[in-house]
Structure 1
Amino acid sequence: MKRIFLSAAGLFMLSQLIAQQRDSTGFQARKLKVEEVNLVSSYYSQNGNNAAVTGGIGSQKLTDIANVFDVKLVGYDKRKRKHSLDVELGIDHYTSASSDKVDLKSNSSASHADTRFYPSAVWTIENELKGHSFSIGLSSSTEFDYQSFGGNLSYSKKTKNKSGEFTAKAQVYLDQVKQVTPVELRPGGERDEHYPGENRNTFAGSLSYTQIINQRLQVAVLADVVRQQGFLSLPFYRVYFNDGSVHQEKLPDSRFKLPLGLRANYFVGDNIILRSYYRFYTDNWGIRSHTAEMEVPVKLNAFLSVSPFYRYYTQTSVKYFAPYEKHTAQDAYYTSNYDLSKFNSSFFGAGLRWLPPQGLFGLQHFNMIEVRYGHYKKNIDMQSNIISLNLRFK
C-alpha cells in the first residue's frame, strides 16, 4: 500500500504545477490545456485451489499492485471544434504462486513475479454544435511473456434533440506470446530464457445507442463482435491426462465472441440513482454466460456519497475443459483452466466518494477522492479482494 501514498504525494506536486499553468494561461485559452488528472491505485489479492499452471490443482494465491495515471487535455480550434487528448500510463506488479510453478523443482523462479506497463492515448475531435465526434487511439502492453499493440477508431452522433447518441467503434490488438512452456516439456528440461513467440490477433467491432427516455430514466443498448486468431492457449498451462502424462494446454486457433448488453440508469429523486446492467455472452467454444449488476449511488449530503454494488455472473464450460487427469489421448483440444469451466460468481462491495467544497488539503482544484472495496467469490473454491483509491484534480 506504500505505493498509493507515494503516488498521492506525486499528484499533490503535479496539481501545484497545473494550477500555476491555469493561472497563467486562463480558462478561455484555445490551445490544449489540462482539464483533469486522475490517479487510481489498487491492491488486489486472491486465493484458490485450481491453478491452471499445475493442471487445475494447487494454489492460486496472487497479489497485484496497480497504479494508473491519467491526464486529459482539452482545447478548441478555429472552427470551434473541441479537441480532447486523454493520455494514460498504467503500471502493475504482481506475485503469483501458480506462475512460480512453471518450474516445479524450483523453490522460487523468475516467473513468480512480473511487472506490466500499459500506456495509451486517445485523441477526440467533437463538433458540439452538430453533435458528432471522432476519435483515434493507440495502446500498448508489455510484460515478460506478452507484448500487445492496439489501435481503435470511434465515431459518435447525437440525435437532433440531443437526447440520443449512436456510437460505433473498431478495435484491433496485435499480440506476441512468448512460448514459456513448463520446464519438463522443454527439450532436455533446459532452462533457456530465449523463448520463441507466437502471434495472437484480436479484431472487435462495437455498436451502442444511448437514449434519455425522460428526466429520470436513461437506457443504453450495447453489442460487440469479437474475432480472435492465432495462438489462443497459454503455453505454461499444464494438462494432465488420465494416464498420468503431462501436456501443454491446447486450444483452437480461432474464436468468435458475441456479447450483448443493456444498461439502465434511473434517478430516484435527487439523492439516489439505480444503475443496472445486464449482459449476455456466447462464443463458438461453448461458453454461454449471463451477467447482472446493480449499483445504487446514494448522496448523503452535497459533498459525500456512498455506492453499494452487487454483480452476479454465471457461465457454462467450454467444450475443451476437463479437470485434473480427466482428459484422454483422444481429445483434440484440452484445458484444465477453471476460468473456462462451468461456474458462477458474486462480486459485491461499496464505494465512498468525497468532493469537499474547498478541495482536498486546502487545494481547490484537487477536488475528489474515492475509495472502493469489493469481494469476489466463485463457487469453485476461489475468492479475491480488491481495494482502490482514486484521486482527481480538476
Structure 2
Amino acid sequence: MKRISLTVLGLYVGMLAAFSQSDTDSTQYKRRKLTLEEANLISSYYHQDGNNAAVTGGIGSERLTDLSNSFELRLSKLDKKDRKHTFDIELGIDHYSSASSDKIDPKTVSSASSADTRLYPSLNWSVENKKGTTLGAGLSLSSEFDYKSIGINAMVAQKTRDKSGEFSLKLQAYLDQLKLILPVELRTGSNPEDEKDYPTASRNSFSASLSYSQIINQQLQVAFLTDVVYQHGYLGLPFHRIYFNDGSEGVENLPANRFKIPVGLRASYFAGDHLVLRGYYRYYHDSWGLDAHTASIEASVKLTPFFSVTPFYRYYTQNGVTYFAPFQAHDPGQEYYTSNYDLSAFHSHFFGAGFRVIPPHGVFGISHFNMLEVRYGRYEKSNSMQANIVSLNIRIK
C-alpha cells in the first residue's frame, strides 16, 4: 500500500512540474491556450470491523481496510466563440484487504479476493457559452480482479436569465462484468479450487439525474435533487453464502431488476463571514421494498482568515429489503434470499471534523500549494459495525 501511495505522489509531482509555470501574458492568443485551473491529490485510509459478514452467511468478521488515492486535474480553455471548455481528468487507485472475502476459500492461506487493487480512470468534458448553457460528456473505467466496469455519461445544464438558478440533467450508464466466484464448497468440476476461467455475468445500470439550484438571497442557496435509476442483470454477489433453516447451504439470489428513486434537498446558509451551515435531506425508495432517510448537517467555522474547522454529522435509517433474513432463517423454498446486512433494517451515525488551511502565500510558502485539508470520520451502525476514515486533500492552483 505504501508503494501505491508513493507511485501516485510521484505522478502528481511530475504532472505538477509540467503545469506549474505561470503564464503572465494576458493576450487573446495566450488566453485560449489550455491552462491548469486546479489539481487535487486525495488520499484516504479506511478501516472497519463487525460481526455480520455476508460472505459467511451473516455471521463472522467484517474486518476490512482500504487505502485510496485519487489524482484529479481540471484544465480549461476558451475557443474562438468565447465558450469555456473544461476537462476533468481523474486517476484513482484503491487497495483493500478483507477478512470476510478470505473466507471464500478458507482452506487456502489467502484466497484471490482477500486483497485486491482497483484502478478507475475517468475523463469528463464540458463546454459553457455566454448564455449559461452547458453541455458535457464523460467516460470512466474501473477494473479489479473480479469486476470490470465501463461508464458513460452526458449532461446539459441551463442557467436562468439572471444567472441565479440552474437546471441540469445528467444521463449515466454503467456496463459491468463480474466473475462468478462461488464459495469453494459449492463449486463443481474436476478441480473446484482452480480459480481460472470463472464464468461471468453482466450488470447494467442506467440513471437520469435532475437538479435545480437557486440563490435565494445573499445568505441562502438551495438545490433540489432527484434521480431515476434502473439496474438489470446479476445484482447479488456469488460468494455471499446463505445458510437455510434446514441446514442446507447456497448463495444469495436477488431479483434481476431494481428501480431506485431518491429525492433530496440541499441548502447552504452563510451566517456572516465566519460561519457557513450546510444541510441535506434525502428520501430513498426502491422496488425491493427498501425505504431510507438521510439527514446531515455540516458547519464550516472560519477561525482565522486562512484556517477553518468543519464538524459534520449524518444520520441514516432504512427498513431493509423484503428478501433479507439472518443466519439460518431463510426457507429453501423462497424465490429470493440474502443475508447481507447492508440490505437489512438498521440506522447509522457518521460524524467527525475537517481542518482546512488556505494561506495567502501558499502552504509552507509554496505559492501554487493552495490548500491542505485533513478530515476524520467515525461511522457506527446499529448492528455493531463500526469504521474510521482519515483523508488528506492537497490542492494546487
TM-score between both structures, scaled by the size of structure 1: 0.96
- Asked if the contact 2:279/2:298 (under 8 Å) is kept, the reply is yes
Q: Take 2:208 and 2:88, find their aligned partners in 1: how far apart are those partners?
A: 21
Q: Using a 3 Å threshold, how does the CA distance of structure 1 residues 186 and 25 change in structure 2: closer, same or farther?
A: farther
- Deviation at 1:157? 0.3
- Deviation at 1:6? 6.6
SS in 2 for 1:377: strand
- Deviation at 1:330? 1.9
Q: Take 1:165 and 1:182, find their aligned partners in 2: how far apart are those partners?
A: 50
The residue number in structure 2 matching 1:131 is 132
Deviations 1:328-364 (A, max 9, x none): 1221101000000000000000011101111123221
- The equivalent position to 2:356 in structure 1, one of 353, 357, 365, is 353
Letter in 2 for 1:155: V
- The equivalent position to 1:341 in structure 2, one of 341, 344, 347, is 344
1:105 is the counterpart of 2:107: yes
Count, aligned residues = 392
1:387 is the counterpart of 2:390: yes
Deviations 1:3-45 (A, max 9, x none): 657755654454333222x348768430212111100000000
Deviations 1:156-177 (A, max 9, x none): 0000001100001100000001
- Asked if the contact 1:8/1:391 (under 8 Å) is kept, the reply is no
Deviations 1:235-289 (A, max 9, x none): 1100000111110110000000000000011111111011000000000101000
SS in 2 for 1:325: coil
Q: Take 2:124 and 2:7, find their aligned partners in 1: how far apart are those partners?
A: 27
* Farther-moved stretch of structure 1 (282-291 vs 26-35): 26-35
- Asked if the contact 1:134/1:155 (under 8 Å) is kept, the reply is yes
Letter in 1 for 2:90: E
Give the root-mean-square deviation of aligned CA atoms.
Answer: 1.5
The residue number in structure 1 matching 2:65 is 63
Q: Take 2:110 and 2:149, find their aligned partners in 1: how far apart are those partners?
A: 27
1:172 is the counterpart of 2:173: yes
- The equivalent position to 1:330 in structure 2, one of 318, 323, 333, is 333
TM-score between both structures, scaled by the size of structure 2: 0.96
The residue number in structure 2 matching 1:182 is 183
Q: Take 2:246 and 2:169, find their aligned partners in 1: how far apart are those partners?
A: 50
Deviations 1:214-246 (A, max 9, x none): 110000000000000011010110000011111
Unaligned runs of 5+ in 2: none
- Asked if the contact 1:327/1:334 (under 8 Å) is kept, the reply is yes
- The equivalent position to 2:82 in structure 1, one of 58, 63, 80, is 80
After TM superposition, the structure 1 = structure 2 runs for residues 1-394 of structure 1, keeping only pairs within 5 Å, are 2=2, 4=5, 7-8=8-9, 11-20=12-21, 22-23=22-23, 28-127=30-129, 129-188=130-189, 190-193=192-195, 194-394=197-397
Q: Using a 3 Å threshold, how does the CA distance of structure 1 residues 110 and 158 change in structure 2: closer, same or farther?
A: same
- Deviation at 1:384? 0.3
- Asked if the contact 2:8/2:71 (under 8 Å) is kept, the reply is no
- Asked if the contact 1:163/1:212 (under 8 Å) is kept, the reply is yes
